[in-house]
Structure 1
């Protein structure tokens, strides 16, 4: 086995946001030399990695030249230049997740076609190259309101996704390649994180349940374990494993799903990286998702994914009406509560709904943890000075 620890091995990471920052906690534990590329000189990783390079993740030359500096390349965001990754891979650089997997996942339309081609259950959809085609489709009664519009490229955290309920909503959509997806009445939004190493060994984390903010379309609470029937949980796990297998995926894959009113499981979308739905694992699991990501891409034995306690994660996002130097109001109040751990992402400037951190609540009792999560949510506020 290659020596990754206290050696001249260099791990490259495309992206230097909060996911990278939390990954660095684990590379530091194992003394793995880590090199980061990000477009922002003040990215959360910039101060704490071994080596930081500023550059555009979508620029071919920037990504290609960065890849030449490292021994293995991974990502913490999927919006990267895949052509550069293809060339690097052809020239012998090890890249996980594989560029072929990223190419499918990066485009929402391609991702949806992958599900239908592989008999993976997902909501019905239509694919359009231009917005005009979508409008034409509506005018000819091919689709009807309401439906979910998704931009094919570069959508995340509520951007590039909109529920279209009427003609005014349709008129206000941006142009470009998109999909129109049937609006699914669902009971729960669930997620399963799967880790797979290059030997093909696989581990799944417990199914989690996600509660969303009604306006921002961002996750407010992630609850582990999900409060669902064990048969539904097993079905979700099996479908997540099929997605990973069909993609021949190496790394960590977060599979987001709907549990419909009649207990069917439909895959909504996947993220080929550590994910918001796994942040609870830092405090609650035997092996957190960031350590597991390293284990999977370095082909090390995968760690125990079981939880020690019930865990709930609360996202800390910028309060509406505040932009400027960040201030975490009442943070000392939540620190008084047992089992509460805040994580601050190192972003100096807040703006409405910007992800600034998260708080984990652990407790023996999931219902008690959920009550404390509500208290935390109502107490701490991300405002500007």
Structure 2
């Protein structure tokens, strides 16, 4: 099939920042794109060939959208899988495959997949409803503290809460969920695995993630991770095992814990380009978005090595600010060497909403980390007035 400057049409479900950055690559290669999102102000709208307004969880909307494309991919997991399954049955190429997506969409199913396939993960208990947890604690079946996770629809720090005392259960939605044992870890790591339709597989270097303690969002992604080579090799091997067992197509971001004993436990995965790979736009030979396009179209995978050390800083909305976004001190960070900001195109900010990221590249990791801290302390995502 001819993909470039042709009648070929790539469909993308989801019009957020991940889709927008994917479109940088499709425009580079003149691949015709069609995007669907529920927001008329979706960041993808300005860069795709066709934009469709629609609910990603609506069967008819997803099905009719997919009938008009040659290959269909996602930039967010929360999509109607029944519609994708029907499209797949009717011959539309859907990547990741619906079987993979079904496993990943539900965190309880995902965790059971790990235990069934011998993939190390934190011990957990599955509950049909959050209301069942209190009885389990009183009866000795579950011990505090633990991490509560909603089985579905959680992302960017939503649907996750550390429960240290009974009062922490108050206000949690009464939904299917997990109670996961808290792990004393040294580092949170991630490995992105690329798998093409032709069976070619490549991994990106292990990255280290530093999280915001309140928002439960990544603040910094550091590549390469500052860990021992043997630990890095173990993380790569486990990520490859997850990839092989899930048989995904495209990218699979595998998030992991490095325990105090240097064991690697899989936390969760995402079957798409991921926040932990944004550094690759400036720091890698082949960035993650181009790699995803290569993989789902069956093109040769690109080189995943880094050209230089890279650190990514997430730009999130400041606390106390909701409304039209203002990026304060942008000129100041642009004066710093090796700094590249990416603004996602969301006109309205709110506390902890992902609004952009900044990549810092340098041959010296320590210097890059220092600049990253300066960037974090300098740029502010606010509004004209606090709310």
Kindly provide the CA deviation profile for residues 340-375 of structure 1, in whole angstroms up to 9, marking residues without a partner as x. Answer: 000000011111111000000000011100000000
Matched, 1:40 2:62: no
- Residue 47 of structure 1, CA deviation: 1.6
**2:172 counterpart residue number:** 173
Matched, 1:309 2:311: no
Kindly provide the CA deviation profile for residues 10-55 of structure 1, in whole angstroms up to 9, marking residues without a partner as x. Answer: 0000000000000000000000000000000000001221000000
Matched, 1:121 2:106: no
Query: Whole-Å Cα distance in 1 between the matches of residues 44 and 328 of structure 2?
Result: 24
Query: Whole-Å Cα distance in 2 between the matches of residues 374 and 209 of structure 1?
Result: 15
DSSP-derived class of the 1:287 partner? coil
DSSP-derived class of the 1:258 partner? strand
- After superposition, residues 213-362 of structure 1 pair within 5 angstroms as 213-362=212-361
- Residue 165 of structure 1, CA deviation: 0.4
Query: Whole-Å Cα distance in 2 between the matches of residues 285 and 192 of structure 1?
Result: 14
- Residue 139 of structure 1, CA deviation: 1.4
Query: Whole-Å Cα distance in 1 between the matches of residues 164 and 112 of structure 2?
Result: 24
- After superposition, residues 3-152 of structure 1 pair within 5 angstroms as 3-152=2-151
Query: Whole-Å Cα distance in 1 between the matches of residues 121 and 216 of structure 2?
Result: 20
- Residue 248 of structure 1, CA deviation: 1.0
Query: Whole-Å Cα distance in 1 between the matches of residues 354 and 107 of structure 2?
Result: 22
- After superposition, residues 144-223 of structure 1 pair within 5 angstroms as 144-223=143-222
- Residue 199 of structure 1, CA deviation: 1.5
Deviating more after overlay: 42-51 vs 129-138: 129-138
**TM-score, L = length of structure 2:** 0.99
Kindly provide the CA deviation profile for residues 279-328 of structure 1, in whole angstroms up to 9, marking residues without a partner as x. Answer: 00000000000000000000100000000000000000011111111111
> Is 2:255–2:267's contact at 8 Å kept on the other side of the alignment?
yes
Runs of 4+ with deviation above 2 angstroms: none
- Residue 69 of structure 1, CA deviation: 1.1
DSSP-derived class of the 1:45 partner? helix
Query: Whole-Å Cα distance in 2 between the matches of residues 331 and 131 of structure 1?
Result: 43
DSSP-derived class of the 2:352 partner? coil
- Residue 132 of structure 1, CA deviation: 2.5
Query: Whole-Å Cα distance in 1 between the matches of residues 47 and 120 of structure 2?
Result: 41
Q: Which runs of 5 or more residues in structure 1 are unaligned?
A: none
Count of residues in Structure 1 that have an aligned counterpart in Structure 2: 384
- Residue 177 of structure 1, CA deviation: 0.3
Deviating more after overlay: 28-37 vs 172-181: 172-181
DSSP-derived class of the 2:63 partner? helix
> Is 2:310–2:360's contact at 8 Å kept on the other side of the alignment?
yes
Query: Whole-Å Cα distance in 1 between the matches of residues 323 and 178 of structure 2?
Result: 35
> Is 2:134–2:166's contact at 8 Å kept on the other side of the alignment?
no
DSSP-derived class of the 2:202 partner? strand
Query: Whole-Å Cα distance in 1 between the matches of residues 136 and 117 of structure 2?
Result: 26
- Residue 161 of structure 1, CA deviation: 0.4
Query: Whole-Å Cα distance in 1 between the matches of residues 286 and 28 of structure 2?
Result: 13
Q: Which runs of 5 or more residues in structure 2 are unaligned?
A: none
- Residue 133 of structure 1, CA deviation: 2.1
- Residue 172 of structure 1, CA deviation: 2.8
> Is 2:60–2:83's contact at 8 Å kept on the other side of the alignment?
yes
DSSP-derived class of the 1:198 partner? coil
DSSP-derived class of the 2:46 partner? coil
Query: Whole-Å Cα distance in 1 between the matches of residues 344 and 249 of structure 2?
Result: 27
> Is 2:189–2:207's contact at 8 Å kept on the other side of the alignment?
yes
- Residue 198 of structure 1, CA deviation: 1.3
